A and B are shown apart, each in its own frame.
Chain A
Amino acid sequence: MSALLAVVVDGVIYASWLFMIAVGLTLIYGVMKILNIAHGSLYALGAYGAASLAGYWLSQGYAPFGSYAALLAAAALVGLIIGPLIERGLLRFMYGRDEIILLLVTYAVFLILEDAIKLIWGVDPYIISEPYGLLGIVEFANLVYPTYSFMLIVVSLAVGVLLAWVLHRTRHGKLLAAVIHDREVSQAMGVNVRRYYLATFTAGAILAALGGALTAPTVSVVPGMGVEVIVLAFAVVVIGGLGSLPGAALGALIVGLLRAAAVHYAPALELFSIYLVMALVLAFRPQGLFAGEQVRTI
């Protein structure tokens, strides 16, 4: 019984992390039809930024609880700087070209950012574990969890609710839906499409960086940490349906629970199982579980 409970709790914690790294990817794809491979690098940048900023904060001897603010500030900073840089400096020249060309462009950006990280921060690992231990632990039913993990769930839920609210309940969200539906007509109606693209890409970048920043305290921040994250995020997003917010949540839950179950019962199948589900979903429902049918255009 307690093993099953552990699987569920582990799964939900992992799912909340997955949701955080996947939601920005699905947002960018949903609006701009760009499958952003550089998402993993933004995640890594967020982690490095957080490690540096929180590390500086703590080394100055300020209140340790302020390090959480440092993590969030780092994520915002990375997203606000790098996001517009990529969108304004590069992607906007590529709009209207094939999705696959845009995929290759973001792959090139990924390669560049991977090395930019190494050039800025070097190749030695950064460890910033204070925020992880600061909140203490939670004990229940013979299980022990760091409170930080539960904070991840809360943050992830908050991100999801906030996004859903912005997309469905605000004027900007409704205009964005119009842009998604028909870019040219909305532009003709006076919507500043350029600004919505910029805002969307920046928001996606901030979300990726936030995922990295909140992960930084739980791992050692090393070069190449974004490489695995990008395929995991792909898997989550593809399972749920590219461009779908509830889809990302569902995909994250499925992958999270699956991985937790695999870790507990069949460790050999851990990685394998995630990609198998992704392939199965693609095989039988290529649009993902949540996205609507798309009219095929040639």
Chain B
Amino acid sequence: MKKDRTPSLLLATLVALLILGLVLPEWRFLGTLAIGKGLTVLGLLLLLRTGLVSFGQGLYYCLGAYAAGTLGQFWGTTDALLLLVVAGLAAGLAAAILGILLAAYRGIFFSMLSLALSMILYGLLVKSAALGSTDGFNLPAPTLFGLPLVSHDSRYPLFVLACVLGVAAALAMHYYFRTPLGRLSPAIRDNEIRVEYLGASVRAAVHVKYVIAGILAGVGGALTGMTVGHIDPEMAYWTTSGEFVFVAILSGTGSVAAPFLGSFIFELVRTFAYEYSPNSWQLALGTAMLLIIVFLPAGLWSLVQRRRA
């Protein structure tokens, strides 16, 4: 059997990222942001491998951010780890409850229902005056064990935390795909009935995967909120979820590292496109998406794989 090189590659990437972050301070913000969104896309990758497209991951992304935000804003908690755990738990709990409903759906019905659910949260948040309605609110600067993660001259500690988190999540997902439950994903996508005949419950498997995706999105949302320092209901709007779907399609489902690479490229392109042609960057995105669907159905990661093969 071929030796599994992914864990060592991921750890090497972590070291490389930490060094890069040290020498290139102006890239830390973008990097942290990309990891926050990459976590959400990682969850979407899991769903995509199962053959499900969620047009509502913004729900958990936003929920995680708001869970961390309310805790920070109204109870004065600034410990990043605590906030991330709470965000993950809140999103996971919501996913566990809504998953009961969603696990029975496939195809566009799964997409539509997840979209509807995220729009419910959006509808609630824009009318919640206590949570700042459409403006949202600011997050206090996060700390870790009492030490500040973000100060006016350095974002390095938060960047380190994000990198560790991202690599840990990618590793966990990598090992998850090797468990029997993880291996069910492509099987469910290919032929659900056979999976049932083999004695596995498709519904239960989809439910678990949906909860995992929810937790990842919740943590990702909280991390993004901490990085930007501000959260608003737009995070639950369907266009945000659409963006995640876009990045997931862009990166492809070939590797657990692909979502992070994909969202880094996405954030990079967006930053420059906003600067140079704010009115035509979506046009470029849409064109890129069409090209990928037609010519690279397995996403950008298939380019990496093709070279290796």
Provide the residues of chain B in CB contact with A275, threshold 8 Å. 116-117, 119-120, 123
* Interface stretch of the complex, out of B28-36, B70-78, B263-271, B287-295: B287-295
> Chain A 255-280 against B: per-residue CB contact (8 Å), 1 yes, 0 no?
00000000000011111111110110
Interface assignment of A115: CB less than 8 Å from any CB of chain B = yes
Provide the residues of chain A in CB contact with B53, threshold 8 Å. 100, 103-104
> Chain A 100-120 against B: per-residue CB contact (8 Å), 1 yes, 0 no?
110111011111111110110
Q: Is the CB of B117 within 8 A of A103?
A: no
A105 touching B293 in the complex, CB below 8 Å, given contacts A275-B120, A276-B120: yes
Q: How far is the CB of B123 from chain A (nearest CB, A)?
A: 3
Q: Is the CB of A234 within 8 A of B112?
A: yes
Q: How far is the CB of A292 from chain B (nearest CB, A)?
A: 15
Q: Is the CB of A271 within 8 A of B286?
A: no
B3-34 CB contacts (< 8 Å) to partner A: none
Q: Is the CB of B119 within 8 A of A271?
A: yes
Give Cα distance in the complex from A235 to B249, angstroms: 25
Give Cα distance in the complex from A108 to B292, angstroms: 11
Question: Pick the contact of A112 from B127, B239, B279, B283 — CB < 8 Å?
Answer: B283
Q: Is the CB of A270 within 8 A of B123?
A: yes
Q: Is the CB of A103 within 8 A of B111?
A: yes
A111 touching B283 in the complex, CB below 8 Å, given contacts A231-B115, A279-B116: yes
A271 touching B126 in the complex, CB below 8 Å, given contacts A101-B293, A107-B245, A298-B191: yes
Provide the residues of chain B in CB contact with A101, threshold 8 Å. 293
Q: Is the CB of A282 within 8 A of B116?
A: yes
Q: How far is the CB of B45 from chain A (nearest CB, A)?
A: 15
Q: Is the CB of B119 within 8 A of A115?
A: no
Interface assignment of B156: CB less than 8 Å from any CB of chain A = no
Interface assignment of A238: CB less than 8 Å from any CB of chain B = yes
Q: Is the CB of B122 within 8 A of A271?
A: yes
> Chain B 273-284 against A: per-residue CB contact (8 Å), 1 yes, 0 no?
000000111110
Q: How far is the CB of A150 from chain B (nearest CB, A)?
A: 29
Q: How far is the CB of A75 from chain B (nearest CB, A)?
A: 23
A282 touching B281 in the complex, CB below 8 Å, given contacts A105-B293, A112-B287: no
Give the secondary structure class of B's interface: helix
Provide the residues of chain B in CB contact with A273, threshold 8 Å. 123
Provide the residues of chain A in CB contact with B287, threshold 8 Å. 108, 112
Residue of B nearest to A234 (CB): B112
Residue of A nearest to B249 (CB): A104
Question: Pick the contact of B242 from A107, A278, A279 — CB < 8 Å?
Answer: A107
Give Cα distance in the complex from A235 to B116, angstroms: 8
Interface assignment of A283: CB less than 8 Å from any CB of chain B = yes
Provide the residues of chain A in CB contact with B108, threshold 8 Å. 35, 99-100, 103
> Chain B 228-259 against A: per-residue CB contact (8 Å), 1 yes, 0 no?
00000000001100100110010000000000
Task: Specify which of B108, B120, B122 lies most central, judged by the most chain A CB atoms within 10 Å of its CB.
Answer: B108
Give Cα distance in the complex from A113 to B122, angstroms: 24
> Chain B 97-124 against A: per-residue CB contact (8 Å), 1 yes, 0 no?
0000100010111011101110110111
Provide the residues of chain B in CB contact with A104, threshold 8 Å. 53, 245, 249, 289, 293
Q: Is the CB of A114 within 8 A of B282?
A: yes
Q: Is the CB of B283 within 8 A of A231?
A: no
Give Cα distance in the complex from A165 to B89, angstroms: 54
Question: Pick the contact of A272 from B123, B279, B293 — CB < 8 Å?
Answer: B123
Q: Is the CB of B124 within 8 A of A278?
A: no
A271 touching B123 in the complex, CB below 8 Å, given contacts A100-B107, A282-B109: yes
Interface assignment of A227: CB less than 8 Å from any CB of chain B = yes
Provide the residues of chain A in CB contact with B119, threshold 8 Å. 231, 271, 275
Q: Is the CB of B282 within 8 A of A282?
A: no
Q: Is the CB of A115 within 8 A of B279?
A: yes
Q: Which residues of A pack against B, CB within 8 Å? A: 35, 90, 93, 98-101, 103-105, 107-116, 118-119, 123, 227, 231, 234-235, 238, 267-276, 278-279, 282-283, 286, 298
Q: List 25 A-B contacts (CB under 8 A).
A: A90-B290, A93-B294, A101-B293, A104-B53, A104-B293, A107-B242, A107-B245, A107-B246, A110-B286, A111-B246, A111-B286, A116-B283, A118-B280, A119-B283, A238-B112, A238-B116, A268-B127, A269-B127, A270-B123, A272-B124, A275-B123, A279-B113, A279-B120, A282-B112, A298-B192
